[in-house]
Amino acid sequence: MSTYGVSSLHVRSVNDDPSALLYLIGVGDAILLNKKILAGEEVSEEEIERRIDLIQMMENMNFVGMDSLWESLSSQNENVL
């Protein structure tokens, strides 16, 4: 990620499984990262459209709410175990 200049990276474990990690980056970094990738690689129109859709979806997310939801789901999984 440092190669592309990503400045905000958040790592979350999935279901407390140390081998299942989710890497989240900020929307601004996602846009810049995709621009750099698209400028340097041959990517199909379909893939470009998919990435734009995902970025637009992320722009509308409430990340504070997502963090709260993630913590809630994590604590529920701990209670089940």
**DSSP character string of 4-70:** GT---EEEEEETTEEEEEEEEE-HHHHHHHHHHHHHHS---HHHHHHHHHHHHHHHT--HHHHHHHH
pLDDT-derived band at 73 (thresholds 50, 70, 90) equals: confident
Q: Which of 20, 38, 27 is nearest to 62 (CA)?
A: 27
C-alpha R_g of the chain: 15
- State both tokens at 8: 């905000």
pTM: 0.48
Give 30-59 pLDDT, tens digit per residue. 778 878 877 888 878 898 888 888 877 777
